């Protein structure tokens, strides 16, 4: 047989997979591993989807997505952040933010183009760059600065091949957020070096201590930014696989061409559900966010009480405590915790070198399970 794609073969499988393979063979496991809300999609959203099926709305839509949905996206972004896009030409509805991310890279990159990625970061970022023929370039962030990207560090890694930077705040896995001044400094670097900005803002509604800063609103950013967002986190719609990209029309046109030949369109039922979420789902989103905030405070306090040093994350639904004091690397710590106490966490190095010595814990699970996980973790660290 002839060889398979060298580009794809060179990308390692997700480091998370090994731990989920272990869990499949175990019982009584409390999972703090999957970044997924434990809420079900609000009833009003499910009902809108059911009613659409009752009416026989099962066709293709425009490649761009339902115009009604794109209008609602633009309206919501205007209400929340005061930023405006043309719903007809500057919004693309995608099959989750994952497709939007992949499509954005393929629209921007030529072979060998470099993309700067602050780390620790979501596990798919670097592989998606590589799949598009680009070269991911890590920009390490540090725990002592709250894992926030620094404009000086970013500028130091720019080369003649640098094409774009990928930002994601609030961040998976650390829960880090950025203020306006920090983001503006990064935008200024991008303007000076004529870089595109891809801003994954899927956790924008889960920003607890300060209002979320939409990158596209900053001076110099709008014309070079591809904003990515969706419905999975704020509206508990992970399985619906529905997201969107907002960008200048010339970029969206290229992204649409890729989307047209690979996906054609996002499923109409998910698009109708997303419309309902935007129109009448704010109360549900706010209630879920308030519950995550309560869990955040309870769980992070619990981690610190048992000796796992962990700053309070500003957004998303992840805690990223340090395990360095216990003399185990993060992978060994996570594996022993799973085998000894049936608590699943994800080792930090899965998310890049900046995660060395840390573990990621997702607190988007029931309070009772979080409390039991803390009891088990306390037993575990007490034996170390």
Asked if residue 263 belongs to a domain, the reply is: yes
Domain end point (choices 256, 280, 304): 280
Whether the pLDDT of residue 70 is over 80: the answer is: yes
Mean pLDDT calculated for residue range 60-67 = 98
Domain end point (choices 255, 280, 305): 280
Whether residue 245 is found in the same domain as residue 379? no
Whether residue 185 is found in the same domain as residue 294? no
Whether the pLDDT of residue 7 is over 90: the answer is: no
Whether the pLDDT of residue 57 is over 90: the answer is: yes
Asked if residue 1 belongs to a domain, the reply is: no
Using a cut of 0.85, tell me whether the model's pTM lies above it.
yes
Whether residue 35 is found in the same domain as residue 173? no
Domain of 377, in residue numbers: 6-41+283-383
Asked if residue 133 belongs to a domain, the reply is: yes
Count of the separate structural domains present in the chain: 2
pLDDT at 105: 98
Q: How confident is the model at residue 365 (pLDDT cuts 50, 70, 90)?
A: very high
Encode pLDDT of 80-131 as tens digits: 999 999 999 999 999 999 999 999 999 999 999 999 999 999 999 999 999 9
Question: Which H, E and C letters describe the chain, residue by residue?
Answer: CCCCCHHHHCCCCCCCHHHHHHHCCCCCCEECCCCCCCCCCCHHHHHHHHHHHHCCCCCCCCCCCCHHHHHHHHHHHHHHHCCCCCCCCCEEEECHHHHHHHHHHHHHCCCCCEEEEEECCCCCHHHHHHHCCCEEEEEECCHHHCCCCCHHHHHHCCCCCEEEEEECCCCCCCCCCCCHHHHHHHHHHHHHCCCEEEEECCCCCCECCCCCCCHHHCCCCHHHEEEEEECCCCCCCHHHCCEEEECCHHHHHHHHHHHHHHCCCCCHHHHHHHHHHHHHCHHHHHHHHHHHHHHHHHHHHHHHHCCCCCCCCCECCEECCECHHHCCCHHHHHHHHHHHHCEECEEHHHHCHHHCCEEEEECCCCHHHHHHHHHHHHHHHHHC
Q: Are the beta carbons of 70 and 93 closer than 8 angstroms?
A: yes
Cis (ω within 30 of 0) for the bond into 170?
yes
Whether the pLDDT of residue 16 is over 90: the answer is: no
pLDDT at 12: 83
Domain end point (choices 280, 309, 328): 280
pLDDT at 14: 80
Whether residue 111 is found in the same domain as residue 254? yes
Mean pLDDT calculated for residue range 315-320 = 98
Whether residue 96 is found in the same domain as residue 223? yes
Whether the pLDDT of residue 60 is over 80: the answer is: yes
Whether residue 253 is found in the same domain as residue 352? no
Percent of the chain with pLDDT over 70: 100
Asked if residue 167 belongs to a domain, the reply is: yes
Whether residue 51 is found in the same domain as residue 36? no
Asked if residue 127 belongs to a domain, the reply is: yes
- Provide the CATH number for the domain around residue 311: 3.90.1150.10
Whether residue 315 is found in the same domain as residue 269? no
pLDDT at 198: 98
Whether the pLDDT of residue 328 is over 90: the answer is: yes
Whether residue 36 is found in the same domain as residue 70? no
Whether the pLDDT of residue 21 is over 90: the answer is: no
Whether the pLDDT of residue 318 is over 90: the answer is: yes
Whether residue 214 is found in the same domain as residue 321? no
Q: How confident is the model at residue 34 (pLDDT cuts 50, 70, 90)?
A: confident
Asked if residue 194 belongs to a domain, the reply is: yes
Going 66 to 167 to 347 to 133, the CA torsion angle's sign is: positive
Mean pLDDT calculated for residue range 355-363 = 96
pLDDT at 209: 95
Asked if residue 271 belongs to a domain, the reply is: yes
Encode pLDDT of 164-185 as tens digits: 999 999 999 999 999 999 999 9
Higher pLDDT, 305 or 12: 305
Whether residue 181 is found in the same domain as residue 122? yes
Encode pLDDT of 148-164 as tens digits: 999 999 999 999 999 99
Encode pLDDT of 217-235 as tens digits: 999 999 999 999 999 999 9
- Provide the CATH number for the domain around residue 255: 3.40.640.10
Whether residue 131 is found in the same domain as residue 228? yes
Asked if residue 110 belongs to a domain, the reply is: yes
């Amino acid at each position: 047989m002839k060889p398979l794609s060298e580009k794809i073969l060179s990308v390692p499988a997700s480091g998370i997979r090994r731990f989920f393979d272990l869990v499949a063979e175990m019982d009584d496991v409390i999972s703090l591993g999957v970044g997924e809300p434990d809420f079900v999609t609000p009833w009003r959203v499910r009902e809108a989807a059911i009613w659409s099926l009752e009416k026989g709305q099962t066709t293709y839509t425009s490649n761009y997505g339902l115009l009604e949905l794109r209008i609602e996206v633009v309206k919501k972004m205007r209400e929340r952040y005061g930023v405006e896009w043309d719903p007809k030409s500057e919004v693309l509805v995608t099959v989750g933010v994952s497709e939007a991310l992949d499509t954005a890279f393929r629209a921007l990159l030529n072979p060998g183009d470099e993309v700067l990625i602050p780390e620790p970061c979501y596990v798919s970022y670097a592989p998606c760059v590589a799949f598009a023929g680009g070269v991911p370039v890590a920009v390490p962030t540090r725990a002592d600065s709250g894992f926030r990207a620094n404009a000086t560090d970013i500028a130091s890694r720019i080369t003649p091949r640098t094409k774009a930077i990928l930002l994601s705040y609030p961040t998976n896995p650390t829960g880090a957020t950025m203020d306006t001044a920090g983001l503006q400094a990064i935008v200024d670097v991008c303007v000076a070096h004529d870089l595109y900005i891809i801003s994954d803002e899927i956790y924008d509604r889960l920003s607890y201590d300060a209002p979320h800063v939409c990158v596209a609103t900053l001076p110099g950013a709008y014309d070079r930014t591809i904003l990515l967002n969706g419905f999975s986190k704020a509206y508990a719609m992970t399985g619906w696989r529905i997201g969107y990209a907002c960008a200048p029309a010339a970029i969206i046109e290229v992204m649409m061409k890729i989307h047209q030949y690979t996906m054609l369109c996002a499923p109409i039922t998910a698009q109708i559900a997303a419309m309902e979420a935007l129109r009448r789902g704010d109360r549900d989103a706010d209630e879920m966010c308030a519950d995550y905030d309560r869990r955040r405070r309870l769980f992070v306090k619990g981690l610190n009480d048992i000796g796992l040093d962990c700053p309070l994350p500003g957004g998303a639904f992840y805690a990223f405590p340090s395990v360095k004091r216990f003399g185990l690397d993060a992978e060994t710590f996570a594996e022993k915790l799973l085998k000894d106490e049936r608590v699943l966490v994800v080792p930090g190095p899965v998310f890049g070198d900046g995660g060395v010595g840390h573990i990621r814990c997702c607190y988007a699970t029931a309070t009772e399970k979080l409390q039991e996980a803390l009891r088990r973790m306390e037993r575990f660290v007490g034996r170390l």
